[in-house]
Amino acid sequence: MDRSTRRSRLTRRLPDLDAEAFLVTRLPNVRYLSGFSGTNGQLLLTANDGLFLTDGRYAEAASHEVPDLPPFIYSGDTLDAVVRACRQVVARQVACEVDGLTYRAWSRLRGAGLVLLPGDREVEALRREKDPDEVALIASAQAIADDAFEAITGKLAEGVTERQVSFELETFMRERTVGGPAFDTILAFGENAAEPHHHPTDRALGRGDVVKMDFGCVVDGYRSDMTRTLAFGDPPTRLREVFDVVRAAQLAGVDSLKAGMTAGEIDQVVRDVIVRAGYGEAFSHPLGHGVGLEIHEDPILRPGGEEVVPRSAVVTIEPGVYLPGVGGVRIEDMVEVTADGCRVIPRTPKDLIVL
């Protein structure tokens, strides 16, 4: 991955921010710009150079993960190290990530003489458009999730619990990638599927239950995200109807999304299908979100959203309908946005599977 070009794109923004340097402290952004995968690292970037800051635990890792930036290895307080690094690169006016510093840290750095300027979501804006290497890693993570879904459906049996199935699903992924699950697996049987973000319990699977699975895994830092809803035996008639509505809405989103649409426009296309079917109030969350180094990234596909969806973004299209006491259905695909459409990344079918 050409991280030097990524850094150059960021530092070209320094004059517009009236800054002499950019301090990057959010770890996903540090990884995006440097390749560092540890738990303590910061970047201080200027128009002509930069420093990678970390403590002694990661000195060796930095030598091979961040070979193209001078290391600034410190012990003790991170904020003191940031101040010393700013003096080394002769930068007083520093753009910062407003989501990456606490108020206490902001106050201390200002108290040390730095002029802090808001660099609000500058790196996140760069991350919206994925390069081919990023898309390939996301696709690799999704391929493992596809295999996990196929494996786990063969193990569903009457009496198994949500917690047991979730454990087996996550174990399958852990055995195939050191990154493991991309987030806490959502696995719900029957009426529990009415909770959009249900935590697995000891609820046992019975005939006629729907099974909602929302899960993903990580490959080299990049994540996948997919939801499928199936049935263990014949589901209630109303949930069959809901499934058909959600599937039609999801397909409408896949067929309509293309680069240049706003987040609100594509959300409305999908939401209209569900509203016309009489389930508008039961679709209680945004349509989708970007996926990459984080499971929820820009752009967020939400009602009224004005953010433009760019070419090469990877986003989810995940409508759902949730009926308390009855159950719920969500169908989710990650798609890669193209100039004239989008490409679905998962290979797992979306038709209703009845086991």
The pTM of the full predicted model, rounded to 2 decimals, is: 0.95
Say if CB 143 and CB 223 are below 8 A apart: no
Q: Where in the chain is the domain with CATH 3.90.230.10?
A: 132-344
Q: Does the pLDDT at position 122 exceed 90?
A: yes
Q: What homologous superfamily is domain 3-127 in, according to CATH?
A: Creatinase/prolidase N-terminal domain (3.40.350.10)
Q: What percent of the chain is predicted at pLDDT more than 70?
A: 100
Q: Where in the chain is the domain with CATH 3.40.350.10?
A: 3-127
- The pLDDT, as a whole number, for residue 60 is 96
Mean of per-residue pLDDT scores for the chain = 97
Which residue do the tokens 């190290």 mark?
81
Say if CB 6 and CB 123 are below 8 A apart: no
The 10s digit of each residue's pLDDT in 147-181 is: 999 999 999 999 999 999 999 999 999 999 999 99
- The pLDDT, as a whole number, for residue 239 is 96
Longest CA–CA span in the chain (Å) reads 69
Which residue do the tokens 């199936």 mark?
230
pLDDT band at 32, cuts 50/70/90? very high
The 10s digit of each residue's pLDDT in 218-275 is: 999 999 999 999 999 999 999 999 999 999 999 999 999 999 999 999 999 999 999 9
What order do you get walking across the sheet with 288-290 strand by strand?
Answer: 297-301, 288-290, 314-317, 333-338, 341-344
- DSSP annotation string for 52-72: EEEEGGGHHHHHHHSTTS-EE
The 10s digit of each residue's pLDDT in 90-119 is: 999 999 999 999 999 999 999 999 999 999
Q: Does the pLDDT at position 324 exceed 80?
A: yes
192 HSE (CA, 13 A, CB side):
21
The stretch 17-34 carries a mean pLDDT of 98
- The pLDDT, as a whole number, for residue 120 is 87
Say if residue 123 is exposed, middle or buried (CB neighbours under 10 Å; 0-12, 13-18, 19+): buried
Say if CB 234 and CB 354 are below 8 A apart: yes
Name the H helices within 98-222. Answer: 103-111, 122-127, 132-153, 162-174
Q: Does the pLDDT at position 9 exceed 90?
A: yes
Q: Does the pLDDT at position 54 exceed 80?
A: yes
Residues 132-344, CATH architecture? Alpha-Beta Complex (3.90)
- The pLDDT, as a whole number, for residue 1 is 76
The 10s digit of each residue's pLDDT in 329-340 is: 999 999 999 999
Q: Please give the angle made by the CA atoms of 247, 228 and 348, to the nearest 5 degrees.
A: 90
